[in-house]
Amino acid sequence: MPMKFDKDKIVADLKKGFQDIQTVAQEGNLKLFVKQFVAVLVVFLLFRYCNGQFAAKISNYNGQMEAIRMQQTSEQEYQANKTKLMSLEPRFPDVESKNEWLLSQVLGIFKEAKVTPQMEGTQTEDDSNASFLAASLLVNAEMSFDAFANMLAGVENKDDYVKISEFSISKLTESEKLGQNKITLRFNTVFPKEKVAKSIFKDYDKLIQQQQAAQAAAEEGK
């Protein structure tokens, strides 16, 4: 049976394809879709110059339509990755703040727990990775099991990227410290050597403002 062609559907697919390409082009990332763009352009030109003979002239219709669908899927994946990057990257500290950022976070965590920490040495750093610098800080403190559990939950739920990689607990035996424990924790964070979102997304500042507004609204709703 001869293949039937829906002219209106073809036009709709073409328009959607070009709209998706325009979205990516506005971001300055058109090179991500060069192959798909060429495929869509070929179909567009054939449609324009073949007029009523379009169905008869295109022998690889299915392949060209598949190229359009691939382009649309790629654009959707691009938007999904953009959203994910915009949600994750701000959680990581700027490398310019590597000397004081982790310490200030740790002090804030213990202040909220109403516990006085004692730093065990200085911050250690590892910059052997080409993409990020890892930093850690060893801290001692005395607290109850309940206070420690609440602090752990608070650290895990932080928006900023601070993690506890290891800890040890030993029960204090002094009578005046009944119910207290000596706890040693290692706090860690990662400083990306380069944050890329701001350099590739032209609406970066607008998206950050939207995220902050949404976060503030969520906090008020609690």
Domain boundary (90, 115, 131) is at: 90
**Pair 101, 71 in one domain:** no
Q: For the chain, what is the domain count?
A: 2
For residue 99, what are its two tokens? 């000397």
**Pair 112, 132 in one domain:** yes
**Pair 118, 186 in one domain:** yes
pLDDT of 3 reads 47
Cα angle, residue 172 at apex, residues 168 and 175 outer, rounded to 5° = 170
Higher pLDDT, 74 or 126: 126
**Pair 77, 113 in one domain:** no
Instruction: Mark out the alpha helices in the chain (DSSP H runs).
Output: 7-27, 34-50, 54-57, 61-88, 101-113, 145-156, 197-200, 204-221
Q: Is residue 132 part of a domain?
A: yes
**Pair 14, 77 in one domain:** yes
Domain boundary (90, 120, 148) is at: 90
Q: Is residue 69 part of a domain?
A: yes
Instruction: Report the percent of the chain where pLDDT is more than 90.
Output: 30
> Which of 50, 58, 44 minimizes the C-alpha distance to 16?
44
Cα(40)–Cα(204) distance, integer angstroms: 29
> Which of 121, 89, 110, 86 minimizes the C-alpha distance to 191?
89
Longest dimension (CA), the chain: 96
182: phi then psi, degrees, rounded to nearest 5? -90, 125
**Pair 118, 81 in one domain:** no
Q: Is residue 197 part of a domain?
A: no
**Pair 122, 101 in one domain:** yes
Q: Is residue 53 part of a domain?
A: yes
Domain boundary (90, 121, 150) is at: 90
**Pair 15, 74 in one domain:** yes
**Pair 142, 178 in one domain:** yes
pLDDT of 20 reads 55
For residue 8, what are its two tokens? 């209106």
**Pair 108, 186 in one domain:** yes
Q: What is the radius of gyration, based on Cα positions, of the chain?
A: 28
Q: Is the pTM of the predicted complex or chain greater than 0.85?
A: no
Q: Is residue 221 part of a domain?
A: no
For residue 131, name the pLDDT band (cuts at 50, 70, 90): confident
Summarised one tens digit per residue, pLDDT across range 134-178 is 999 999 999 999 999 999 989 988 888 899 989 999 998 888 888
Task: Return the amino acid letter for 198.
Answer: K
Summarised one tens digit per residue, pLDDT across range 10-43 is 556 555 655 555 555 555 554 555 555 555 555 5
**Pair 30, 69 in one domain:** yes
**Pair 188, 128 in one domain:** yes
Cβ 142 vs Cβ 181: under 8 Å: yes
- Structural domain boundaries, residue 39: 7-90
Cα(42)–Cα(40) distance, integer angstroms: 5
Reply yes or no on whether the pLDDT at 127 is more than 70: yes
Long-range CB contacts for residues 32-37, cutoff 8 Å, separation at least 24: 32/74, 32/78, 33/71, 33/74, 33/75, 36/67, 36/68, 36/70, 36/71, 36/74, 37/71
Reply yes or no on whether the pLDDT at 2 is more than 50: no
Q: Is residue 202 part of a domain?
A: no
Summarised one tens digit per residue, pLDDT across range 62-115 is 666 666 677 777 777 777 778 888 877 888 888 999 999 999 999 999 999 999
pLDDT of 112 reads 92
pLDDT of 125 reads 94
CATH of the domain at 121: 3.30.70.60
